[in-house]
Chains A and B, each alone.
Chain A
Amino acid sequence: DGGITQSPKYLFRKEGQNVTLSCEQNLNHDAMYWYRQDPGQGLRLIYYSQIVNDFQKGDIAEGYSVSREKKESFPLTVTSAQKNPTAFYLCASGTATTNEKLFFGSGTQLSVL
Chain B
Amino acid sequence: EVQLVESGGGLVQPGRSLRLSCTASGFTFGDYAVNWVRQAPGKGLEWIGFIRSRPYGGTTRYAASVEGRFIISRDDSNNVAYLQMNSLQTDDAAMYYCARGYGWFDPWGQGTLVTVSS
Chains A and B form a bound pair: no
